[in-house]
Structure formats: C-alpha cells, structure tokens
Amino acid sequence: MRLFKVSRWLWITVPIALSAPSYATLEIPSDIQPPRGTVGDKYRWIIPIDYDGEGSLTWSSENLPDFIWVNANGVFWAKPNVDRMPPLGSEGYYPDVTFTVTDGIETSTFGPFTWVVEPSGNVSGDLIYPRIDVQTSAPDIPEVVLATEQAAASLLFQATFGPSPSDPGQLKSQGFESWFYEQVNAAPSYHLPRYDDYLAYGEEDSATTRYRVWWDRSINAPDQLRQRMAFALSQILVVSEKDATLSLHPKLLTDYYDLLIKYALGNYRDLLLDVSRHPAMGYYLTSIGSQQENPFEGIRPNENYPRELMQLFTIGLDELKPDGSPFLNASGDPIATYTEADIGEFSRALTGWHLANNTDWDDLSNGELFASMQPNESRHDSGSKQVMGITFSSGKSAEQDLNLAIDILFNHPNTPAFVSRILIQRLVTSNPSPDYITRVANVFRNNGQGVRGDLAMVAKAILSDEEARNGEAFKVKEPLIVMTNLARAMSMRGNIDGIYQDLDTADAYGQIPLGSPSVFNYYRPEDVPDGSLKDEGLVAPELTVLNASSFKVLSNILHSVISQNKNFETPEINEKNKVDISGCYNISHVSNFEEQMAYLEQTFYHQPISNTMLATYRQFTDSIGASNGRIRCKGMIWQTVTSPEYLIQE
C-alpha cells in the first residue's frame, strides 16, 4: 500500500478570521523559510498525500516551546496567556522542531524546522505584522587564503584607502585573519584631535581644515579598515556641510565623523542611538527642538529625522526578502514598509530633544555643541503610539521612546539586507548577487556569538565572501578613492611638521566628505547612467560623480599631485604635499621599459597590465627623449591613474 507521496511543501493555515471553524491556507516551502505562528491563534497543518488506507492519521511533534500545543489531528495552538512581543533578538526562535504523521503502518517525519513565534498581528500575503526579525543560527564566514601579493592587494583596495607599496607583501605574510583582528583592535585614529593640531599650527577653523584633516587621516591612519568603513557609513547616515547651520560648524562635522569612526567596527544599534543624539544630525534633519503637538500654537512634531531614519538608515521603502529583493503584492507591486501615519507616530516618539544645557527651547543654538543632545520631558510626547503595528506604551520617557524606536528598526527583517547591500557596494562591488547579500545579512543578524549588528563581523563577511575573493567583483572607484589610492601608493607626505595642504577638495572630485547635496548622498544604490550597464540590468552609482565633466577636473588634480615630487626626502615648512617618484625615476631611461612596467604594475595596478595599456606606454616612452626621465615617469604615472583599468576596482 502506498500511503504517502512525500512532498517538499508544507501547508500551514493562517487564520483570516478568528472564528473557530475558519482556516485559510498559506503555502510555505519548508526547506526555504521557517513556519511561523502568531500567539493566541489556531492553525492546522496539512501535508499533501496520496492515502489509500482506512486508518486515521495521528500527529506528534518534538522540540516545540511549552506554550505551543498540538493535538492528534494536526491542530496547534499558541496559548493566549503568553500574548506578548518576544524579547528583541532571539526569543521566539525555536530550532529543530519536527512533526510526525502516521496511520499506524507507515510514518513520515517533516523537519527539522525552525519555528518562529511572533506576537499577535495581522497577516498580509507572505508577511506577518508587526515584522520582528529573528536571530539566525551562526553563519559560516569563509577562511581567506591570500596566496599571492596580487590577491592581497585586491583585498586592500576593498578594505582600505588603498595599498601602500609594502602592504600587499606584509598582508600576504601575516594572513588575513591576523590582519583583520589587528585592524579591529587598533586604537581609532580620530579626526578631531588632528583638527586641533592644525588649529594649533595656525590654520583656520574652516571647511578647508576639515578637508585637510580628512586627507591626512585617510592617507596615514594605521586603522585603515576602520577609516574605510567610516567613509562608507558617512554615505548612509548622511549629514552635510551644505546645511546652512552645519556650514558654519566644520569642527562639529569633524566630531560627527569621529562618531562614525568610533562605531565603524562596533554595533549598528549603538551607532543609530548616538547618531540620533548627535547635534550635527539634529541640525541636519531638524530633530533639535522637535516637541509634542500643540494645535493652539500650530506646533507639530518634526517628521524629517523619523522619515529618513526609516527610509535611508535602516529599513528602506519596501518590504524586503532576506536577499534584499522586494516582496510583491498580488498586483506585482512592492509592499510599503511604513505609512505616513507611521511617520507621524514615529515623530511623536522622537520629540523632546535639544542641545545639552539648553535654557531657551526656541533658540536652536542655545546649549553645548560637542555633547549629545539631551531630553526635556516637558516637551516630549509621552502618550501611547502605534508604529508599524508595535505599541509604545504611554508614560514613557524620551529616552525610553528613542530606544524602542531604534529597537523596532534595528530588529526589523529589512535592516540586515538593506544595510549590508550598501556596505557591499561601497567596499567591494556595485552589483552583489542576492546570495552575497543574504550571506552578509545573516552575519548582521548573528555575528557567530548571538550578537546582532556587529559591523566588524559584517565587514569580515563582506571581505571574506567568495564573490569578493573570486577575482570577479568590480566597481567604479569614487573620485576621492582614486586620489587616496594614488596618495598611498606614492607615499604622499605633508610638510616638515606633517601638516597636509588641501587637495582641491571643494572643486576637483564631484564629492566632498560630509558634503553631499542632500540626505540621499551623492548617488543612490540603484543609480546607473543610460547605456550598456543599464541595458544589462547593472548599476554603477559612482558614475553619478565620476563622469565626463568631473573626470577632466580629476585628471588635472592628479597630474598636479604627481608633479609635486622634487625633494621628497627633505620636507620643508609651508610646502605642498609631495609624492615619492624615486622608484620610477631610478629606472626612467628609455631602455628600461620592462622595469618601468614592473614598477607601474607593482605600485598601482597590482595585476598584469593589459596589452592596450602596454602599447600606450610604449608609444609614449618612445616619444620622450632618452634623458627626460622625470617627464617620462610623470607621464606614465598620470596615464596609469587616469586609465580605465585603474579607475575600476577589481
């Protein structure tokens, strides 16, 4: 007798109405996503079978939590007395659940599954609301073996502001694992102390000084991974000098950048909390002075920061699958993550914050700039609120409401994929596969020790992934990265006191650190110009700033920097930044073409030079007089750093 046709599909019934006889079915592939139960509701499991016998089927289960009851007919019930939101993080997540069905003759077991118990909520398609993510089992991060200096250099282009001449060999010898934890444990190289050094040297408290410090630290700081991650985060958690108030406070922007450095290899939840309290963000997205509604005076809570906190910093506009692709409704359209009503309720939760030691609520400059914003409970809306299906109880303080608001977003299922995708784009490739995003997002969920949001381990997952290390990942370099790559490759130095001159930051790159035209950064993750890339379904956000117009200006500043190479070994007062060209100049005779190509390959490309570029170099070097070595070197280097091969990070 053939009793079962075992299927890879389970059927779980989700109640559309709570009346006892009503059951509706939702098909869930058991080997792709976990079954889910909502506290207080009844469900029925149905297994697709071919049944030829006469006996009745009976059910049993193992490893269910004690408040889930399953009877012999396959009806299970999450007891209503435990109707509460599982603690954010891991509770509500029950692995290795199995169901067994038998007629007394033949038996089939389904599982093991991971059972997810969610709070009571409404059901829409494949989504159960409110959406609270759960902790996955600890994911594996692949071991990285850097067999060649070329492989080591490729990783350094992704993880740092570019390899210096000795870095690839050192990394190959040291090994990735040791190097990575050395970087994680290195003391942060903050910008604000260096800013004060420049002021003590006699420089002005100005945007130009902020730029100079950014170049100084980005080129020279030993904690390169932290610096590169901070730069990536600055393009997610955006503030900008284009704001009228922040344009007057370059030192405050430097302090904000240090906040990103502090948490660049820390926890994303902690970062979100401190960003929410930082005066730079308070000014930029106008959360300073936001207060509870007073209809008689026409006062309403400010919605700017809550809106961007959701849209750009955590969950995005659309409900996302674990791989970052959108859930679609029956009409094939994305499902919105939140509503205008949610924004309004969220804005109420974030009222009552102002500069520390403020004594005049209406004066947004009254208080301390270089301290976290502080709450004023008399200005906070302490009433109950409902955001994306989760209730803020009444009577809570501004600090309690802020923490719950951050918890809701930090623990939302969208956040791991949303943040991971952008970080992958900024470090490794503009077009990560859905599987790459999923793998990194799972590390965001669980760093291997049950911790969510560990950015150090997220960075490790990004850099260790097979797509990062298989030699096929590529992205267009941002103009600022092009310059830092050149500066580190040529050991750029400042003057005799270590003070750097500005590298024409405001005009040459089409982008400025913390200087984007809007909260949307200089580009969005999905940006791509018209042409073949778009036709192939690829994106290239960096081409928004590296275009025909900006490239001309960028190539000129690169040429200017390369030309500053005399007397590198003898720094002087008040001189421009210098680069070391001696490695090329020592072999600059026209007869040393092979040695010159080896120099370019080992110093800049860190991979074989293409035949097209070899022909270009040969034609150029042959056109230069045999004794004009310095001109030959400057020309070859300039051709290198403006070539397509160099402007693409591989």
pLDDT computed for residue 70 by the predictor? 56
570: burial class by Cβ within 10 Å (0-12, 13-18, 19+)? Answer: exposed
Question: How far is it, in rounded angstroms, from Cα 130 to Cα 110?
Answer: 28
Instruction: Decide: helix, strand or coil at residue 648.
Output: strand
**In Å, how far from its chain's centre is CA 454?**
11
CB 68 within 8 A of CB 78: yes
Mean pLDDT, the chain, rounded, equals: 85
Residue 15: how many other CB atoms lie within 10 Å: 17
32: CB partners within 8 A, 6+ apart: none
CB 499 within 8 A of CB 201: yes
Question: How far is it, in rounded angstroms, from Cα 191 to Cα 262?
Answer: 11
431-436 average pLDDT score? 96
CB 39 within 8 A of CB 78: yes
Q: Residue 502's closest CA among 190, 204, 208? A: 208
202: burial class by Cβ within 10 Å (0-12, 13-18, 19+)? Answer: exposed
Question: How far is it, in rounded angstroms, from Cα 172 to Cα 152?
Answer: 6
Better-predicted residue by pLDDT, 138 or 572: 572
What DSSP assignment string belongs to 557-608? HHHHHHH--TTTTS--TTPPPB---HHHHTT-STT-HHHHHHHHIIIIISSP
The pLDDT confidence band at residue 7, using thresholds 50, 70 and 90, is: very low
CB 353 within 8 A of CB 282: yes
Sign of the Cα torsion 281, 286, 288, 293 reads negative
Tokens of 438: 């999923």
Sign of the Cα torsion 515, 518, 519, 524 reads negative
Instruction: Decide: helix, strand or coil at residue 147.
Output: coil
pLDDT computed for residue 35 by the predictor? 42
- Tell me the percentage of the chain whose pLDDT exceeds 90: 70
pLDDT computed for residue 26 by the predictor? 27
Classify each residue of 45-80 as buried b or exposed e, where b means 16 or more C-beta atoms within 10 Å of its C-beta. Answer: bebebeeeeeeebebebeebbeebebeeebebbbee
Helix axes 479-489, 629-641, angle to 10 degrees: 140
The pLDDT confidence band at residue 512, using thresholds 50, 70 and 90, is: very high
Q: Residue 425's closest CA among 397, 462, 396, 394? A: 462
pLDDT computed for residue 23 by the predictor? 27
Question: How far is it, in rounded angstroms, from Cα 213 to Cα 204?
Answer: 12
- The number of C-alpha atoms within 13 Å of 362 and in the hemisphere containing its C-beta is 1
Q: Residue 374's closest CA among 353, 403, 360? A: 353
pLDDT computed for residue 113 by the predictor? 55
123: burial class by Cβ within 10 Å (0-12, 13-18, 19+)? Answer: middle
Query: How confident is the model over 193-244, as pLDDT tens digits?
Result: 999 999 999 999 999 999 999 999 999 999 999 999 999 999 999 999 999 9
The pLDDT confidence band at residue 126, using thresholds 50, 70 and 90, is: low
Q: Residue 512's closest CA among 226, 280, 208? A: 208
Most confident of the following: 20-24, 88-92, 483-487: 483-487
CB 592 within 8 A of CB 601: no
Better-predicted residue by pLDDT, 26 or 284: 284
pLDDT computed for residue 313 by the predictor? 98
pLDDT computed for residue 546 by the predictor? 93
> pTM for the complete prediction?
0.83
Is the pLDDT assigned to residue 131 strictly greater than 50? yes
543-552 average pLDDT score? 92
pLDDT computed for residue 389 by the predictor? 82
Question: How far is it, in rounded angstroms, from Cα 582 to Cα 180?
Answer: 31
pLDDT computed for residue 38 by the predictor? 43
pLDDT computed for residue 33 by the predictor? 39
62-89 average pLDDT score? 49
pLDDT computed for residue 111 by the predictor? 62
Is the pLDDT assigned to residue 258 strictly greater than 80? yes
Better-predicted residue by pLDDT, 14 or 607: 607
388-414 average pLDDT score? 93
- Tell me the percentage of the chain whose pLDDT exceeds 70: 79
Is the pLDDT assigned to residue 74 strictly greater than 80? no
Query: How confident is the model over 261-284, as pLDDT tens digits?
Result: 999 999 999 999 999 999 999 999
Helix axes 340-349, 398-410, angle to 10 degrees: 140
73-102 average pLDDT score? 48
The pLDDT confidence band at residue 94, using thresholds 50, 70 and 90, is: low
Is the pLDDT assigned to residue 287 strictly greater than 70? yes
pLDDT computed for residue 64 by the predictor? 63
Instruction: Decide: helix, strand or coil at residue 58.
Output: strand
Is the pLDDT assigned to residue 11 strictly greater than 80? no
Most confident of the following: 86-100, 119-133, 562-576: 562-576
Instruction: Report the length, in residues, of the chain.
Output: 650
pLDDT computed for residue 129 by the predictor? 62
Of the candidate ranges 105-109, 370-374, 618-622, 634-638, the one whose mean pLDDT is the lowest:
105-109
